[in-house]
Amino acid sequence: MLEFLFVAALMASSAHLEDPHKQAPAQHEAAKAEQAKPAKVEKKHGSVAVPEEAPAEKTKAVPKTTKKPGSAAAPEEEAPEKAKPAAAPRPASKPKAAAVKPEEAKRLAEAEARASRLMAENARLQEALAKKDLTAPIEIKNPLAALTELKAGNLRFVEGRRVRTLLTSQDSALRETLAKGQAPFAVIITCSDSRLMDNFIFDQELGRLFTIREAGNCPDTQGVASVEYAVEHLGSKLVVVLGHTACGAVTAVAQANGKPLPGNLWSLQAAMAGLLETTHEDPNESAAEHLRHLEKNNAVRQAQAVLDRSEIVRHLVGTGKVQVLPAVYDLASGQVSFLELPKASKGEEKAHH
């Protein structure tokens, strides 16, 4: 129940992320602007940076005036004193704020109040989750709940507010529990690239994600078998094929352009056969933009390939117990953009592996 509330609060505060394609550039701009602003506030422990434009402001659960016994949530009035202004030409302290223009002072005061509220909320969430027993059975019962949890975890990661992967005090008890069995709610098929790690990206502790990693996020037969094991025997509800920006495997296959790559690398070309031909090339796009399209298309095609190659997965998807989704991870922003499988192509591309 606590976990549900936690997720609900985060989701309520993250409505703007529902369409990652539209929001990604705006967020990036906001992040850049954030770096230049003096009102940036940092929390000492855990170095939690609070983005000024973060949406948690709307969350109704933010405690404003009361402090429950044992709660770490700081009341709004106290938070600014605990906040440490980052090194900046014009710190948002009260004496200096009075020296600037009224509208500027107002803006700084608002930013400070907003940052304080976010810090208080983060402290409250950390406190709440610390009290929750991570070793208790998980409550994610369907693909939508699994997707909701992944999106919430990714938002925490993007905003520098990871929680579940920081509760090290529970590591020992969690290991002891998990040694008896596992029930990962999602399967993540992703690239071996060292710059991404699904547990961090989705802020999920041990036992929550069943991971298959290979360069280019192309599951081979054993990879598909691993997916089948997870959805059929472990009860995983969601299968995510997670590509990423600046993928070396996709780049290598694209640059080889059909010429055999050395060593065993030919197998990457085999796994991505048809990718170059099915990715539309726009004469106006840059090489980097085209690579983004290839990475996206590869995630979609590999997700489709899992369905095409697994009767077990297809059956579970058909009954609504499991969902398969492609997605792309942005190395710079940390944001995961979930994509959709083209409905028309379902089951049509059976021969591209």
Which residues lie near Zn ion (CB under 5 A)? 191, 193, 247, 249
Q: How far is the CB of 296 from Zn ion (least distance, A)?
A: 13
Q: How far is the CB of 298 from Zn ion (least distance, A)?
A: 9
Q: How far is the CB of 156 from Zn ion (least distance, A)?
A: 23
Structure tokens at 221: 């037969």
Using DSSP's 3-state secondary structure scheme, residue 239 falls into strand
Q: How far is the CB of 37 from Zn ion (least distance, A)?
A: 34
Q: How far is the CB of 195 from Zn ion (least distance, A)?
A: 9
What distance, in Å, lies between the first and last C-alpha atoms of the chain?
43
Q: How far is the CB of 255 from Zn ion (least distance, A)?
A: 14
Picking from 325, 1, 296, 320, the residue whose alpha carbon sits closest to that of residue 151 is 325
222 CB-contact burial (10 Å; exposed 0-12 / middle 13-18 / buried 19+): exposed
**Whose Cβ is closer to Zn ion: residue 49's or residue 268's?**
268
129, 159, 163, 171 from 132: Cα distances, Å:
5, 22, 12, 13
Alpha helix stretches (DSSP H) within the chain: 2-12, 20-36, 79-82, 94-99, 102-131, 143-158, 171-178, 198-201, 221-233, 248-256, 266-271, 275-278, 287-309, 311-318
**Whose Cβ is closer to Zn ion: residue 116's or residue 302's?**
302
Distance CA 183, CA 171 (A): 17
Torsion of CA 339, 345, 347, 352, to 10 degrees: -90
Residue 264 CA, chain-centre distance (Å), reads 32
**Whose Cβ is closer to Zn ion: residue 108's or residue 249's?**
249
**Whose Cβ is closer to Zn ion: residue 70's or residue 263's?**
263
**Whose Cβ is closer to Zn ion: residue 135's or residue 251's?**
251
Q: Are 68 and 61 in contact (CB under 8 A)?
A: no
Q: How far is the CB of 251 from Zn ion (least distance, A)?
A: 8
**Whose Cβ is closer to Zn ion: residue 249's or residue 294's?**
249
**Whose Cβ is closer to Zn ion: residue 26's or residue 331's?**
331
The beta-strand segments (E) located in 33-90 are 41-43, 48-49, 84-85
Distance CA 223, CA 325 (A): 16
Q: Which residues contact 343 (CB under 8 A, 6 or more apart)?
A: none
**Whose Cβ is closer to Zn ion: residue 92's or residue 191's?**
191
Q: How far is the CB of 350 from Zn ion (least distance, A)?
A: 25
**Whose Cβ is closer to Zn ion: residue 62's or residue 240's?**
240
Residue 321: how many CB atoms within 10 A of its CB? 16
Q: How far is the CB of 301 from Zn ion (least distance, A)?
A: 15
Residue 111 CA, chain-centre distance (Å), reads 25
